[in-house]
């Protein structure tokens, strides 16, 4: 078992992420993991990511606030406890279009 205390979760900088604070909860520099890692991001109002593609499947769940997810062809606004799967090589953009901070959890493969 490996426990990561939230107060000690390491911060990381992700490319093309603006007005966001990203923390690793498991995997990479937060501890051992063979197949996946988990991160948590706080997104300030007006913050988000650019529209990018990744060869990895991604799972997101909104823990607080509201996050708009845009793909190559659609857009969905997620609220607390809503989740989304982004397929490998599918374009994805996150946007906080509200005046309140949002928190989102990410799970994706390590390799």
Give the span between the Cα atoms of 4 and 70, in whole angstroms.
31
Q: Hey, CA dihedral for 71, 73, 78, 84, is it positive or negative? A: negative
Predicted pLDDT of residue 111: 74
- Which residue, 62, 58, 53, is CA-closest to 80? 62
Domain count, the chain: 1
Residue 11 belongs to a domain: no
On the 0-12 / 13-18 / 19+ scale of CB atoms within 10 A, 86 is buried
Per-residue model confidence as pLDDT tens digits over 3-54: 999 999 999 999 999 999 999 999 999 999 999 999 999 999 999 999 999 9
Compute the radius of gyration of the chain from its Cα atoms: 13
Per-residue model confidence as pLDDT tens digits over 86-103: 999 999 999 999 999 999
Q: What CATH number is given to the structural domain containing 80? A: 2.60.120.10
Residues paired with residue 104 on neighbouring β-strands, in sequence order? 41, 62
Per-residue model confidence as pLDDT tens digits over 54-93: 999 999 999 999 999 999 899 999 999 999 999 999 999 9
Predicted pLDDT of residue 4: 97
Residue 86 belongs to a domain: yes
Q: Which domain holds residue 53?
A: 46-111
Give the span between the Cα atoms of 79 and 71, in whole angstroms.
17
Q: How many residues does the chain have?
A: 111
């Amino acid at each position: 078992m490996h426990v990561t205390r939230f107060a000690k979760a390491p911060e990381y900088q992700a490319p093309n992420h603006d007005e966001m604070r990203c923390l690793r909860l498991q995997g990479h520099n937060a501890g051992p993991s063979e197949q996946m890692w988990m991160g948590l991001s706080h997104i300030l109002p007006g913050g988000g990511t650019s529209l990018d593609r990744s060869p990895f499947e991604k799972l997101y769940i909104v823990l607080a606030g509201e996050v708009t997810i845009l793909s190559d062809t659609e857009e969905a606004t997620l609220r607390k406890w809503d989740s989304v799967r982004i397929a490998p090589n599918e374009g994805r953009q996150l946007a906080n279009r509200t005046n309140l901070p949002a928190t989102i959890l990410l799970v994706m493969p390590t390799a």
